[in-house]
Every structure is written in structure tokens, then in C-alpha cells.
Amino acid sequence: MTNANAEIPSPPAHYREPLTIGTHTLVSRFNLAPLAGYTNLPFRLSIREIGGVGLCTTDLVNARAILESLKKTHELLAQDPAERPLFVQIFGSKPHEMAGAAQWLVERKLADGIDINMGCPVRKVVAVGGGSSMMCDTTGATVDLVRKVVESVPVPVTVKMRLGWDDDHLTAPHFAREFEKAGVAAVTIHGRTREQGFAGGVNHDGIKRVVEAVDKMPVFGNGDVRNVADAMKMITDTGCHGIAIGRGALADPWIFRQLANWVNTGDPGPRGTYAERIAFMRLHLRRLVAWRGTENRGCVHFRKVATWYTKALRFPKKVQQRLVMLLSLEEFEEIIAPFADGVPEGWTEWDTQQAHVAVPAGPISHW
């Protein structure tokens, strides 16, 4: 992990060149990786407004739930014109349901692209044959499913996957090669296996082997990128065409703007100040309230993300305990009032990069 005094590496020149996924030319090569329960409309829109993000993707959504038109699933599909292009991530194990869900989304102009989840390690997803379990089948069924989705829609189809089920079954290079033949527009590789979950280090060599397995299809590296130095190491070690950032963006929403500035000018530019981070937290809460429809439901949802903010902003434990039980917007303003005009002694912007972000527990289609 770098610090404020670390030397900033020179950016790779080719990262200034435009990168296209299907018909969409990205404004940067740094994408927001989907995280279930976290990368919903309020967070995505707020990230977009800071700037620098190339592409956003929704939370993963159950393909069958889309076809059944469940109300709570529709909440996950909420979006804003300001965040287009937007890809929708779907999961499932039945080709007709996956293709049908993709068609449903495109016909209603809810998706500028479809992302297929093959990376979720959570048991409830794996148990139904979705997520990481799809990487266990090298007989052709997984490739056939992906091909069926590609052929069912006129928009780009991408895949997010892990390196494989475990260290003895690193199937990502095989799938990436086959997916490119099937017409997949890009893949994102999380540099861990399903067995690892989010533990242990990211295997850059594993991501590199995926990059080497394809011809022209863009490969996005994913995992443990929290600053410029981490991004440069990912690029140098793997040769990836772009980077997808999930937990790093939760801890530091300014990371995309900094990375884009770094690529274009060599200087990441300013990080978010303490006051800006307080303002972002407030905006996030207010958008959660608007998205969930009532103040109570929005505050309940905010409780699930409050700990990132309390750690990044060094709020005392008693403040954290109040925020994770938040009941109203008025109470929120009362809680943060003592911090609105000052900075805790010893706090620096770098604290946000050190903040531990709890790993999402899987698809949260019924929050």
C-alpha cells in the first residue's frame, strides 16, 4: 500500500488510447465492478458525478426473477440517464432464462450491455448452478449458455469471472478463449479462485494467463486495486487492457477520477477532502432514501454501508453504533454535526485507502 509521500509511477501511454466494448467507447479504462447490495443506483450515480469511471454495471440480478417481473428485482434495475452506458449483470444456469432475461432488458432499453456473472462465490448462487460453479463445466455447456445470450441480443455481452474453482482448476484462460470465439465483447477477471472467496492475495500471473489466452478481446483485471501504485502493478504484471474496481471504490469514491487524471496527465490530482467525504456520505444517504421510496427504508439500507464511512472518516465507535441503527435524516444530521466543520487529529486522505470494506455476502435482491 502506498502513502502520501510515495513516488507516483509514470502511466502507461497506451492507456490514453480509447477502449471500446462493442459499440461503446469508454471515457476511461477504469470500470466500477459490480458488488451485490452496494453498486446500486444511488452509489453508481454518485460515483459518476465525481468522474473518471469508464463503465458501471448493476448489482447481479437473478435472470428468473427478471422474467417473473418481481417488484424488488425491479428496484435493482433502477437507473438514471446520466449513468449511461450501463450494463446489467445477470446470473443463472438455464440458457433459456439467461437469454430471455437479456432480451427482456434490452427490449425495455434498460441495458446498453449484458454482463454474465461467473464469479460470485456465494453458496446460494453456486447451489443453483450460477456464479463460480459455471467455471467447473468445461464440457461445453457453459460456453453454449454464453453463446445463447450473445446471439439473443444486439448489445455487447461481457463476462465477469474468477480464475477458477480452486488452484487445481484454473479454467479462466480456457473460458476466455472460448468466449471470444462465441462473440463476447470483454471479460473481467477477479484474480482469486472460488475457494479463496475474498481471502488471500490476488494472483496477477493468473490474470496474465487469461490476457495471453485471447486474441483481441479486452480483459479487465480486478482485485485489490486501491490506488495508483496498485493499478500500475496490475497493468505491469498482467498486461490487462483495463481495470475493474469494486471494494477500492467503496473506500475511496475518488479513485476513478484520480486514475483517469494520472493516465492523462501523470498526476492523479487531489483526493477527496474530509468535507467532501462527509458531503458524499450525505448525498449517498439521501439518494438511498429516494431510491427505496421511504425515509425508513433508505436509512435501513444505509446502515449496511455506514461502517465504511465511519472507518474511513475515523468516527468514534459510539458514532458508528448510532449510524448502524440510523432511523431518520434528521438523526443523521445530528450525529455528524460535530464533524462537519473539522478534521480529526491525525486524519489524512490516505486513511480511506486503509479502511477495511466488508465483503458483500451475495445477491441482495430482497433487501
What is the pTM (predicted TM-score) of this model? 0.91
Q: What angle do CA 360, 354, 208 make, to 5 degrees?
A: 70
Write out residues in the chain with pLDDT < 70, as ranges.
1-6, 119-133, 135-136, 195-199, 350-367
Q: Which three cell numbers stand for residue 109?
A: 432499453
* Phi/psi of residue 254, nearest 5 degrees: -85, -5
User: Which three cell numbers mark 3?
Assistant: 502513502
CA–CA dist 139, 134 (Å, integer): 11
Residue 283 has what pLDDT?
Answer: 98
Phi, psi of 319 (to 5 degrees): -70, -45
Angle at 314 between CA 286 and CA 52, to 5 degrees: 55
Classify residue 272 by its DSSP letter.
P
Q: What pLDDT shows up at residue 350?
A: 65
Reduced to 3 states (helix: H, G, I; strand: E, B; else coil), residue 129 is coil
pLDDT tens, residue by residue, 208-247: 999 999 999 999 999 999 999 999 999 999 999 999 999 8
Each residue of 26-76: pLDDT tens digit?
Answer: 999 999 999 888 999 999 999 999 999 999 999 999 999 999 988 888 889
pLDDT for 270 equals 85
Q: What is the rounded distance in angstroms from the CA atom of residue 159 to the CA atom of residue 147?
A: 11
- Helices 274-292 and 41-50 sit at what angle, rounded to 10 degrees? 140
- The residues carrying an active-site annotation are 120
| pLDDT, position 5 | 45
Q: Give me 110's grid cell.
A: 434498460
Q: What is the pLDDT of residue 19?
A: 97
Place of cell 491525525: 346
The residues near 291 (Cβ < 8 Å, ≥ 6 apart) are 40, 41, 42, 75, 78, 298
Q: 337-350 burial by CB neighbour count: b if 16+ within 10 A, else e?
A: eebeeeeeeeeebb
Report pLDDT for 361. Answer: 42
What is the three-class DSSP state of 58?
Answer: strand
What is the distance between the alpha carbons of residues 93 and 119, in angstroms, rounded to a whole number?
A: 13
Sign of CA dihedral 188, 191, 195, 197: negative
